[in-house]
């Protein structure tokens, strides 16, 4: 029987991957496999199952946080947009992303759409593959579904050319089953956090998420399995923290120091959207079908979570505001308040803020708001704001 990793060793491993902006994990993965390649992708969602079925490693590019000084990247972008495109360009120009054979840019916002164009200027098609992933905004399977299947077939054709491998139905079904397992582990982990958040410190949960966007899914599944089994034997005691929902971290990620600050300021985060692409699909995708492309499309249409970058409808096809979906989550999970955040200048989340705040006011749900950037290094102001928020709820509610 294979020996299971200890929790402390798992988190150490995940932190090494998180802090490695040279992507040595990816380089080693490629070197160990003849003819292997890696494909990078920007947040939020990308059908990683297809990349993995092609024998390639899907690698989430989440910026370099506070570990890289941005110089060249600033020359490509205005000062009044979010930080992640500048950070991504800086890493690329520094050669940190040379291990990638291509990049995928999901349709998140105008900034990422623009970044896909800048990328093609920096790295022409004959140097690196580049693809803009148009995700459906119409959720009718006969309209948005068929559109998305055409997009996925085009993507598969490109990857077959790039990898020199034909992607068979069995390859896709096997890959889907691996990512289904990964998402099941995350659902179990989120359930534990909702019930006993002191067992899974927010910093550990965040590092597990971040590592999952880089690591081979099979290795990450083993880490998640060992972690879930390991925490149950730890004698971690609950603190007098309030329970909160944290919303707004779906694309550009906050630095680890800020994540830890929120919990140390007296908040147990029992629902969040950190690295939401890792668990964007909330239910299993059919992994035993003759048409896995349709299964992946259906997974997005009918099984994906809500996000500021995604148009929302309910199961009846009727428009449903994201604020209603969030209030339902708040009621189901049971929280004391909401931390509504987002990267500076992030149009998708900032456009959603008024609707969320209006819903919170109507439902008498306490909340606070603040903005961050991936490279911020001072957390005192946020620590004081969050600490005051948690203290006020404990004292008067």
The pLDDT value given to residue 316: 45
Per-residue b/e over 14-24, b at no fewer than 16 CB within 10 Å?
bbebbebbebe
60 in a structural domain: yes
Question: CB within 8 A of 107, min separation 6: which ones?
Answer: 113, 132, 133, 134, 135, 309
Is 156:51 a contact under the CB 8 Å cutoff? no
CA dist 138 → 53, 251, 316 (Å):
27, 22, 13
- For residues 315 and 340, which has the higher predicted lDDT (pLDDT)? 340
Which tokens in the block code for residue 328? 């339902």
Return the number of other C-beta atoms located less than 10 Å from residue 145's C-beta: 19
The pLDDT value given to residue 319: 63
CA pair distance 145, 151, nearest whole angstrom: 10
183 in a structural domain: no
pLDDT tens string 88-106: 999 999 999 999 999 999 9
Domain count for the chain, please give it: 1
Question: CB within 8 A of 369, min separation 6: which ones?
Answer: 339, 340, 341, 353, 357
pLDDT tens string 44-70: 999 999 999 999 999 999 988 888 889
188 in a structural domain: no
From the CA atom positions of the chain, what is the Rg in Å?
A: 20
231 in a structural domain: no
130 in a structural domain: yes
228 in a structural domain: no
State the residue range of the domain holding 89: 21-135
CATH code, domain carrying 79: 3.40.50.11890
pLDDT beyond 90 at 80: no
pLDDT beyond 60 at 1: no
CA pair distance 101, 48, nearest whole angstrom: 15
Mean per-residue pLDDT over the chain, rounded: 93
Mean predicted confidence (pLDDT) in 288-300: 97
Instruction: For residue 312, name the pLDDT band (cuts at 50, 70, 90).
Output: low
pLDDT tens string 330-349: 999 999 999 999 999 999 99
Which tokens in the block code for residue 109? 């916002």
173 in a structural domain: no
The pLDDT value given to residue 91: 95
pLDDT tens string 244-272: 999 999 999 999 999 999 999 999 999 99
31 in a structural domain: yes
């Amino acid at each position: 029987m294979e020996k299971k990793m200890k929790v402390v060793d798992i988190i150490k491993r995940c932190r090494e991957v998180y802090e490695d902006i040279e992507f040595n994990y990816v380089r080693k993965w490629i070197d160990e496999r003849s003819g292997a390649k890696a494909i990078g992708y920007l947040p939020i969602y990308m059908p990683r199952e297809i990349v993995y079925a092609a024998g390639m490693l899907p690698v989430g590019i989440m910026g370099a946080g506070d570990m890289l000084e941005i110089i060249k990247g600033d020359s490509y972008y205005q000062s009044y947009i979010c930080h992640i495109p500048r950070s991504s360009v800086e890493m690329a120009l520094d050669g940190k992303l040379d291990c990638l054979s291509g990049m995928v840019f999901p349709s998140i916002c105008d900034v990422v759409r623009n970044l896909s164009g800048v990328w093609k200027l920096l790295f022409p098609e004959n140097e690196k593959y580049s693809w803009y992933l148009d995700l459906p905004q119409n959720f009718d399977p006969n309209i948005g579904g068929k559109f998305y299947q055409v997009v996925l077939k085009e993507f598969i054709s490109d990857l077959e050319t790039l990898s020199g491998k034909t992607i068979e139905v069995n390859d896709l079904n096997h890959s889907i089953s691996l990512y289904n397992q990964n998402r099941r582990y995350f659902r179990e982990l989120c359930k534990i956090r909702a019930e006993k958040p002191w067992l899974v410190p927010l910093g550990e949960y965040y590092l597990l998420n971040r590592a999952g966007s880089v690591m081979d899914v099979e290795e990450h599944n083993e880490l998640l399995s060992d972690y879930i089994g390991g925490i149950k034997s730890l004698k971690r005691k609950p603190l007098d923290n309030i329970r909160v929902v944290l919303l707004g971290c779906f694309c550009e990620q906050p630095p680890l120091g800020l994540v830890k600050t929120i919990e140390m300021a007296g908040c147990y985060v029992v629902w969040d959207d950190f690295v939401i692409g890792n668990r964007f699909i909330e239910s299993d995708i059919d992994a035993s079908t003759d048409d896995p492309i349709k299964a992946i499309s259906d997974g997005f249409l009918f099984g994906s979570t809500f996000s500021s970058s995604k148009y929302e409808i309910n199961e009846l096809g009727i428009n449903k505001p994201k604020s209603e979906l969030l209030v339902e989550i708040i009621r189901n999970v049971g929280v004391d308040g909401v931390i509504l955040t987002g990267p500076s200048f992030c149009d998708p989340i900032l456009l959603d803020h008024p609707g969320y705040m209006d819903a919170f006011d109507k439902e008498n749900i306490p909340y606070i708001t603040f903005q961050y950037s991936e490279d911020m290094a001072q957390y005192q102001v946020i620590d004081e704001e969050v600490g005051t928020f948690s203290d006020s709820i404990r004292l008067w509610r």
